[in-house]
Amino acid sequence: MTQTFDVFIAGAGTAGIAAAGFAARRGAKVLLVDGAERIGGTLFISGGNMSAGGTRLQRQRGINDSAEDHFQDIMRISKNTADPAIARLAVAHAADTIHWLLDIGLELLPDMPVITYGHEPYSVPRTYWGPELGVSILKTLSPWLQQSIASGAVDLRLRTKLVGLRQDRERNVVGAVIKGPDGVHRDVTASNYVLATGGYTANTHLYPMLNHGHPLYALGYDHSQGEGIVLGVGAGGYVRGGEMFLPTFGGVRDPDRPGYYKGGCA
Ligand SMILES: Cc1cc2nc3c(=O)[nH]c(=O)nc-3n(C[C@H](O)[C@H](O)[C@H](O)COP(=O)(O)OP(=O)(O)OC[C@H]3O[C@@H](n4cnc5c(N)ncnc54)[C@H](O)[C@@H]3O)c2cc1C
């Protein structure tokens, strides 16, 4: 039997959790599936560093900053290669995102914000993270999502993968096929379909195909297999930005895991 929702979301990482929680709070009935046994995705290994200009934390410390200064710094550091439309969108919402996370309980290290040196440094302290890095963010988002699960607005299914998209003659996506832990394929329909299955840095075959032949030596999350990208491209979408490939982190190849490296440094 086909189940119907307002919003279907594949992937319960940073993007999928936020999409599900906000859609639910705006009245939608949401199905959120994740192939892993727990939510969080790449947040388990992420540094959890977030940058934002014009926050109340900066004001409290007398740091003069704004979304516009943040944007100008991004263009300077990227030597004008950043997509200005995307950069403007990101900086415009960055301070509000930090404030929202703080309001729902995010704990930050006491000396935040700081200047970091993982990339060419910003001109002012503008970067924030918690004591458990990406996990600090997850520990904030989990109870926030749980409220929508408890209210029945979000149906969360773990160990459940998106395995196919159904399309009509005009190639509109009209259904999703999911596979649960019992191995059974089920049809789902929704008014909106969100692919939030993350990246592909655990897929040694897909990685060189999308990065001009560069081989994969990654520190990615095991579930970052690019499955949503493959399905999205198959449905008529496209991937862009491969020409911007820029390897910046280094480490030592892991002899036990081909395609992975151990540790890392900037
Ligand atoms: C080592 C490392 C450090 C990083 N540090 C930072 C940092 O300091 N600051 C920063 O801003 N960014 C950082 N990043 C990047 C950042 O963590 C990611 O960009 C972000 O977490 C991606 O979120 P996402 O929701 O798009 O994808 P993910 O978090 O990868 O979530 C995707 C989810 O989809 C699920 N999934 C995959 N395929 C399927 C399928 N077919 N069906 C159902 N579910 C599926 C996965 O299990 C996963 O839970 C770092 C990344 C790495 C690897």
Over residues 30-35, mean pLDDT: 98
Q: What percent of the chain shows pLDDT beyond 90?
A: 78
Which residue would you say has higher pLDDT here, 243 or 203?
203
Task: Tell whether the model's pLDDT for residue 243 goes beyond 80.
Answer: no
Residue 168 sits at φ, ψ, to 5 deg, of: -90, -170
Delineate the domains of the chain, giving CATH numbers in brackets: 1-48+130-198 (3.50.50.60), 49-129 (no CATH), 199-266 (no CATH)
Long-range contacts of 238-245 (CB under 8 A, 24+ apart): 239/210, 242/210, 242/211, 242/212, 243/212, 244/81, 245/211, 245/212, 245/214
The dihedral built from the CA positions of residue 210, 211, 217 and 218, taken in this order, carries a sign that is negative
173 CA from centroid of ligand 1 (Å) = 24
pLDDT (0 to 100) of residue 251: 66
Task: Tell whether the model's pLDDT for residue 21 goes beyond 90.
Answer: yes
Indicate the pLDDT class of residue 250, thresholds 50, 70 and 90.
low
Over residues 14-35, mean pLDDT: 98
Residue linked to tokens 């490296």: 261
pLDDT (0 to 100) of residue 266: 38
Q: What percent of the chain shows pLDDT beyond 70?
A: 95
199 CA from centroid of ligand 1 (Å) = 6
5 pairs with which residues across the strands?
A: 190
pLDDT (0 to 100) of residue 245: 72
Task: Tell whether the model's pLDDT for residue 217 goes beyond 80.
Answer: no
Indicate the pLDDT class of residue 262, thresholds 50, 70 and 90.
low
Indicate the pLDDT class of residue 265, thresholds 50, 70 and 90.
very low
Residue range 67-119, pLDDT digits in tens: 999 999 999 999 999 999 999 999 999 999 999 999 999 999 999 999 998 78
pLDDT (0 to 100) of residue 14: 98
pLDDT (0 to 100) of residue 177: 98
Give the integer Cα–Cα distance in Å for 36 and 251: 26
DSSP strand pairing (173-179 vs 185-195) = antiparallel
Q: Give, for ligand 1, the residue of 114, 122, 197 to mutate: max count of ligand atoms closer than 8 Å to Cβ.
A: 197
Indicate the pLDDT class of residue 264, thresholds 50, 70 and 90.
low
Over residues 54-67, mean pLDDT: 97
pLDDT (0 to 100) of residue 119: 80
Contact status, residue 16 vs residue 41, Cβ threshold 8 Å: yes
CB atoms under 10 Å from CB of 240, counted, come to 7
Residues with CB under 6 A from ligand 1: 10-16, 33-36, 41-43, 45-50, 134, 161-162, 196-199, 219-221, 223-225, 227-228
Lowest mean pLDDT among 1-5, 157-161, 220-224, 241-245: 241-245
Coil vs helix vs strand at 223: coil
CB atoms under 10 Å from CB of 250, counted, come to 11
CB atoms under 10 Å from CB of 255, counted, come to 8
Task: Tell whether the model's pLDDT for residue 144 goes beyond 80.
Answer: yes
Minimal-distance CA residue to ligand 1 atom 3: 46
Minimal-distance CA residue to ligand 1 atom 48: 41
Contacts of 256 (CB under 8 A, 6+ apart): none
* Side-chain half-sphere exposure of 105, counting CA atoms within 13 A: 10
Give the integer Cα–Cα distance in Å for 10 and 186: 14
Contact status, residue 264 vs residue 251, Cβ threshold 8 Å: yes
Minimal-distance CA residue to ligand 1 atom 9: 49
